[in-house]
Structure formats: structure tokens, C-alpha cells
């Protein structure tokens, strides 16, 4: 029944006459909790906060006219996350030879999908335009089954190169939720080809 309803809604939707496609790159950092245990104290559990770097690239699809103050977008990208550090080398709470831990020693690959809104704030796209953005998505493809929800809230600057091409840079606060909130920050830079 749900498939039939979704098919009817898609068939009834009007044709899109404005939008765009683009490429995006990202880089940033976030906090990460690493758990470890004290073998000499009945496996008492400890938590260590680490800061990890991330980097990636992908594609985005824009819905809305280039002159609209509000545009929607769908972004899908690969993200590489740096390895975690050995808790035995970072903690002074437990003797290094008594630390029992399972930390990620290799970089991690994640597939992320988000949907978002971009709102024009100040300026003109042919010079420099300030905008606000918010998107919500998830790390949906992970090799270690640690999927997560992700929110991006930020501001950016956009510049139009002629009628059809936009370039932009944003700075975002990027918290995640995976058995608790994890704070982070990301920058995005991209180029979009727009049509209408």
C-alpha cells in the first residue's frame, strides 16, 4: 500500500524546472569517546575523549531557482575519518600495561546522505552572498555497523560565476548522535551548475 501511495505522489508531482548539480568537498574535526578498562581493578571502565579529523568529497543536487531566497539540496558523499589513538598511551588513570581496549587503528570510510535548506541572508550572488544553511542526514554506510545521525548548522559565502555556476564555502557546527551526542565542526566547499 505504501509503495502504491508513494508511486502516486511521485506521478502527481510537477516537473522540476529549476535546480542544479554539483560537487562538494569537506574537512573538519569532531570529538570521539574511546572506552577502555583497567585489568588490575576488576575491569573498571573509563572513557577517554579524543579529537579526530575527517575529510571527504561527493555530489549534491539542488532544487530551486538560482534567484530564490530559499533552496533545497540533497548531498551524498564519502567521508574518511582518522584512526583513534591507543588509550594506553594517552591516559594517566591506569597503568599502560593494565589497559584493556579495542580502538580503531585504521581510517574509517563512511557514506553519508543529507537533505538541507539554504537561505539567502545578505548580498548578491554575482558579487558575494552570505547564506545560512541547515541539513539533517545520517552516516548510512559504515564498515563497522556504527551508523549515526548528523546535523549541520552553519553559514557560508556564495559567488556566482556567470549565470549558471556558483561556488561556495561554509563553516558548520556538526553534531552527531550515536549512543550519545558527539560535537564537531566541518567546512564544505563546492561548485554547482544551475539550470532553470
Question: Given pLDDT bands bounded at 50, 70 and 90, which one contains residue 170?
Answer: very high
Q: What is the pLDDT of residue 55?
A: 95
What pLDDT is recorded for position 105?
82
Domain that holds residue 79: 18-34+50-86+106-195
Number of domains in the chain: 1
Q: Taking the model in full, what pTM does it have?
A: 0.80
In a domain, 170, yes or no: yes
Q: What is the pLDDT of residue 17?
A: 61
If one compares 111 and 1, the residue with the highest pLDDT of the two is 111
Q: What CATH number is associated with residue 163?
A: 2.40.160.20
Return the pLDDT at 13: 47
Whether residue 86 contacts residue 101, with contact meaning beta carbons closer than 8 Å, is answered with: yes
**pLDDT grade for 113, boundaries at 50, 70 and 90:** very high
Within a domain: residue 160? yes
CB-based contact 90:48 (threshold 8 Å): yes
Q: How buried is residue 12: exposed, middle or buried, by Cβ count under 10 Å (0-12/13-18/19+)?
A: exposed
Sign of torsion over alpha carbons 26, 31, 35, 36: positive
- Domain membership of residue 93 (yes or no) is no
**Pairwise CA distance, residues 137 & 149, whole Å:** 6
129 in any annotated domain: yes
Residue 5, pLDDT above cutoff 70 = no
Higher pLDDT, 9 or 180: 180
The mean per-residue pLDDT over the stretch 108-126 comes to 89
Q: How many CB atoms lie within 10 A of CB 110?
A: 22
Phi, psi at 95, each rounded to 5°: -60, 135
Amino acid at each position: 500500500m505504501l509503495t502504491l501511495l508513494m508511486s502516486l505522489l511521485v506521478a502527481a508531482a510537477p516537473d522540476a524546472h529549476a535546480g542544479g548539480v554539483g560537487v562538494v568537498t569537506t574537512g573538519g574535526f569532531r570529538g570521539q569517546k574511546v572506552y577502555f578498562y583497567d585489568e588490575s581493578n576488576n575491569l573498571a571502565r573509563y572513557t577517554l575523549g579524543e579529537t579526530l579529523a575527517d575529510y571527504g568529497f561527493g555530489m549534491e543536487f539542488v532544487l530551486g531557482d538560482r534567484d530564490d531566497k530559499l533552496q533545497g539540496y540533497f548531498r551524498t558523499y564519502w567521508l574518511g575519518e582518522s584512526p583513534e589513538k591507543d588509550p594506553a598511551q594517552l591516559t594517566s588513570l591506569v597503568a599502560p600495561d593494565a589497559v584493556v581496549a579495542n580502538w580503531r587503528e585504521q581510517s574509517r570510510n563512511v557514506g553519508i546522505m543529507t537533505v538541507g535548506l539554504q537561505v539567502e541572508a545578505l548580498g548578491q550572488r554575482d558579487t558575494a552572498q552570505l547564506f545560512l544553511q541547515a541539513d539533517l542526514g545520517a552516516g548510512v554506510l559504515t564498515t563497522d555497523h556504527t551508523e549515526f545521525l548528523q546535523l549541520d548548522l552553519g553559514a557560508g559565502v556564495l559567488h556566482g560565476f556567470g549565470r549558471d555556476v556558483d561556488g561556495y564555502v561554509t563553516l558548520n557546527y556538526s553534531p552527531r548522535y550515536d549512543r550519545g551526542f558527539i560535537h564537531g565542526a566541518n567546512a564544505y566547499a563546492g561548485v554547482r551548475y544551475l539550470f532553470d
